Structure 1
C-alpha cells in the first residue's frame, strides 16, 4: 500500500474455500477483502438512519420480530433500488449510492403517495434511483489502517499514544507469487 506517508509492504496468505481460480481469481478476492467491513455500514444504516436512533416500539416478542422483519424488508427494498440505479450506469460502484438520499426519496414518495399505481412499464431506476444517481458519493478511499475499537467519548484526554486519525489517499499494488506444482 502506498500513501503520501510512505509505502507499507506486507505478505498475505489467502486461505479460502473458493478453489476454482478461474471463477474466483485471487486478485479479485484480495480486492474484495478491503471491503470486508461494509456490514458495519449496514448496521449503522438500520440503527441510526432508518430508526433515527429510536428504539423498537413493540412490547411483545412477536411484535418485535414483526418490526425487525419490516425494517429488514424496507432496508432490502432501498438497497435494491440503489443497486438498480447504479447498475443502470456501467462502471458505477454501488458504494457510491447514498443510503440517506435513497431513504429521503422513498419517504417523499410515501408522503406524496406518488407512483402507487404500477404501470405496465417497469422502471428499474425509478424516482429513488434518479435521486441516488443525482447525488452520487465520491469514490471510497482504500483503507490503509487496521480496524480499531473506538474509545468511548469522554471529556478527559485518553492516556497513551495519540491515535492518528488522518486519512491518506492510497494505492494498492498486488504481485501474485505462484509456484508451479
Structure 2
C-alpha cells in the first residue's frame, strides 16, 4: 500500500497465511512433508503454510509454502525480497518479534503489526492521537492500544488490540486511521476463498509430486493475479469505484468465457481480454460492502466425534463497529 492509501484506503489485500491442498502423497511428498496426516493436505487447514504478499489489492507478488516443520516466520522471511519503500505490511501476532519487525524495517517498507499482550513496551512519549512512542529492540515504534467492539443482534463482544508501527508521524498517520486500516489484513482470507471455492470449486490439487504441487499453486496464483489486475484497472478508471464492490466471480466467469470463445486466437478476432473483463465487472458492481461477522469454519471436523464444532453457529450477522483509542501513562 502507498502512503496515500494509508490515509484514504479502499479495499485492498494484505499479507496473511493459508495452506495448500492436494489429494495424494507419493514417496517424494512424504519426504518433503515428513508427517503427512490422513494422506490429505487440505486447503484451509494448518497442515501446510502458504503466505502471500499483496500490493494495492492487485496481486500476490510472492508466495512461500511448504511443510509444517518450518514455522510461519521462516516462510515470511522468504517474502522480504518483495518489500520496498512506499509499502505498508499488515502483520498478525505471529510476525511481531523484534527480529522479524527489524527485518521488515530494513527493507524500508512500513509495517503495522499486532503485538502480543505479553509485551510491556515502555512509554517514551505520548501523542495527542492516543498513541505513544516506544522501542522494540533496536527500532523505534509507535504503539496504539485500543478497544474494538462488535455489536450484532446476538450481543456485543469487545477485544483489546495493541498495534505497533514504524510510521512515527502521528499527524500524517493518526491512530484512528491505522486501526481502521488494520482491518484490511483479513482481506487475504477473501483471496484464499476466491482461489479455493470460486476457482477450484473446492476440488483438491491433482499432483502427487512436490514439483507438480508447486506448479499448480503458482498457476492458480498467476490466474488470480491476472483477474485482480483486470479488476483493479477497471475500478481505477471509474471515480469512486471501490475494488471491494467488484465481483471476483463475475471476472472469473467472463475470463472463462473468453477462453471458450478463443478470443485473440481465431482470425479476425480483436484481443481485448482485460477490457472485456473490466466492462463486465463495472456493469455488475455490487452494493457497498456491509460490515458483517461470521465464525471461522473448517471444511469438515477433523474428528467424527467433534460434536461441539457441529453446533457452532455458522450464520453471518450484520454488525456495527466502534473503536476506542486507549491512552497510556508515561513510564517512569
Aligned residue number for residue 167 of structure 1:
317
Separation in 1, partners of 2:279, 2:289: 21
Q: Is contact 1:47–1:53 with CA below 8 Å preserved after alignment?
A: yes
The more displaced of 88-97 and 73-82 is: 88-97
Aligned residue number for residue 35 of structure 1:
184
Q: Is contact 1:34–1:142 with CA below 8 Å preserved after alignment?
A: no
Matches within 5 A, 1:22-171: 23-115=172-264, 126-143=275-292, 152=300, 163=313, 165=315, 167-168=317-318, 170=320
Q: Which runs of 5+ in 2 are unaligned?
A: 1-148
Separation in 2, partners of 1:57, 1:172: 45
Q: Is contact 1:144–1:170 with CA below 8 Å preserved after alignment?
A: no
Relative CO higher for 1 or 2, CA cutoff 8 Å, sep ≥ 6? Answer: 1
Deviation of 1:107 after TM superposition, in Å, equals: 0.5
Q: Is contact 2:254–2:277 with CA below 8 Å preserved after alignment?
A: yes
Change (3 A) 1:166 1:108: closer
Deviation of 1:142 after TM superposition, in Å, equals: 2.3
Deviation of 1:26 after TM superposition, in Å, equals: 2.5
SS in 2 for 1:15: strand
Alignment root-mean-square deviation, CA: 3.8
Aligned residue number for residue 16 of structure 1:
165
Deviation of 1:48 after TM superposition, in Å, equals: 1.5
SS in 2 for 1:37: helix
- For residues 60-99 of structure 1, the C-alpha deviation after alignment (integer angstroms, 9 at most, x for no partner) is 2212211211111111111111111111111111111111
Deviation of 1:45 after TM superposition, in Å, equals: 1.1
Change (3 A) 1:48 1:144: closer
Paired residues, what number? 175
SS in 1 for 2:164: coil
Q: Which runs of 5+ in 1 are unaligned?
A: none
- For residues 89-140 of structure 1, the C-alpha deviation after alignment (integer angstroms, 9 at most, x for no partner) is 1111111111111000000111111245777xxx796100111111112222
